[in-house]
Amino acid sequence: MPREVMNGKPVEFFQNMRKAGVKSTRSTLGSVLSAIASLVNLDYGFQVHAQATKQGLDSNVYVGSSLINMYAKCQKMEAAKEVFDYLDEKNVVLWNAMLGGHAQNGYASEVLELFFRMRNLGFHPDEFTYTSILSACGCLKNLEMGRQLHSCIIKNKLEANLFVGNALVDMYAKTGDLDEARQQFELLRNCDNVSWNAIIVGYVQEENEDEAFKLFWRMNSNGTVPDEVSLASILSACANLRSLNKGMQVHCLSVKYGLETSLYSGSSLIDMYAKCGAIGTACEVFVSMPERSVVSTNALIAGFAQNNLEKAVNLFHFMLSEGLKPSEVTFSCPFGCMLWTFYSESRKANPLLYTENWAFI
């Protein structure tokens, strides 16, 4: 059963309860908010929030943390902050919801500020706190603070926790200390996809493709099925090396696991084939994707821009006609300046077609 259908059931049940005049409990509201967060449906979220307020349950810690998580998943951190500030009684669960929400939405500096506030108020971090703050350190390239947190983790005997271990690998990889990232990775007892992805992505970003390939095949031989992240990362390594043979092997794996047309691995396949000079195959992958995206279209535009300006421009027109929003990457390819000029002139000629939603700077 698709995830959308499964998560839609609690929402349907909640709506039927309301129609029947049955009051919701804290558990009911928490469960339905969790489902709404998975669906990323803000309208449903507003309805449940209104119901919680009506019943006087919006001040409950459990409901409050569920509301914060829902708003964070819907990328509405201001609303999440309002919920958090409204609650008189705060616990570690609420602080973690705020920390996790800011981390998920890329507000790394705010994560640090919240963490220090939390500590100053006497709350003790747990494994979920550390995963969020380590993620923020990685985004900010703050290796020094990451090491200090690592010491606290050892002191609190949390280094054996898989979530914390994965966060340490990711933090060290993102801050450029791959040796320490690898050491922490090898200390993990039961690696999952997140563990493998963190270290593989780290090596690819540092342009150590050979080690990335070794780890990728080791992951496969260990029985861990690659996901979109690992496939996209290793395809990026193939593209960097212009290794068509390795790229085709990874393509076969993506077909085997049904991920060849998914957003990130599909876009990475297009990028790999384009950079390896197989633009025809890149087009085939693009056409086979059920949903067009800016990422996949950018990859193909960049491929065409190397030697076929006309097709690059035609594809850019297609992007606009599909209602896709150009990004910085769109205009960073060769002839990007010309595309930007065309885009700017088109906006002036027909501003109704190019609203403020198209602006990216």
User: Per 3-state DSSP, what percentage of the chain is helix, strand, and coil (rounded to 5)?
Assistant: 70, 0, 30
pLDDT at 228: 95
- pLDDT above 70 as % of the chain: 90
Report the amino acid identity of residue 50. Answer: A
Query: Is residue 68 within 8 Å of residue 101, measured between CB atoms?
Result: yes
Which residues have C-beta within 8 Å of that of residue 316, sequence separation ≥ 6? Answer: 301, 326, 330, 339, 342, 343
**pLDDT value at position 183?**
98
Tokens representing residue 186 in the block: 């090898």
Beta carbons within 10 angstroms of residue 42's beta carbon: 16
Give the pLDDT band (50/70/90) at residue 293: confident
pLDDT at 200: 98
Question: What's the CA gap between 127 and 96, in Å, rounded?
Answer: 10
Token digits of residue 116 = 């220090």
Q: Which of 33, 27, 69 is nearest to 48 (CA)?
A: 33
pLDDT score of 1 more than 50: no
- State the virtual CA torsion across 172, 174, 177, 181 in degrees, nearest 10: 40
Residue (of 250, 246, 237) closest to 207 by Cα position? 237
In contact, 101 and 79? CB cutoff 8 Å: no
DSSP letter for 23, please: P
Residue 354 DSSP one-character state: S
Straight-line distance from the first to the last Cα atom of the chain, in angstroms, rounded to the nearest whole number: 41
- pTM value is 0.85
CB atoms within 10 A of CB 150: 21
Amino acid code (one letter) for 304: F
Q: Is the pLDDT of residue 329 over 90?
A: no
| Mean pLDDT, range 221-244, rounded to an integer | 96
The answer to whether residues 218 and 202 touch, using CB atoms and an 8 Å cutoff, is: no
Query: Would you state the pLDDT for residue 19?
Result: 83
110 is written with which tokens?
Answer: 């705010």
d(CA 222, CA 234): 17
Helix (H, G, I), strand (E, B) or coil at 156: coil
- In sequence order, the 6+-apart residues with CB closer than 8 A to the CB of 13 are 32
User: What average pLDDT does the structure give for the chain?
Assistant: 89
pLDDT at 289 over 50: yes
Whether residue 252 has pLDDT greater than 70? yes
Long-range contacts of 355-358 (CB under 8 A, 24+ apart): 357/325, 358/325, 358/326
Say if residue 354's pLDDT is above 50.
Answer: no
pLDDT-derived band at 22 (thresholds 50, 70, 90) equals confident
Label each residue of 216-282 as H, E or C.
HHHHHHCCCCCCHHHHHHHHHHHHHHCCHHHHHHHHHHHHHCCCCCCHHHHHHHHHHHHHCCCHHHH
Over the stretch 98-126, which tens digit does the pLDDT of each residue have? 999 999 999 999 999 999 999 999 999 99
The number of beta carbons lying within 10 Å of the beta carbon of residue 190 is 7
**Contact yes or no for 260/266 (Cβ under 8 A):** yes
Question: Which tokens go with 313?
Answer: 């421009």
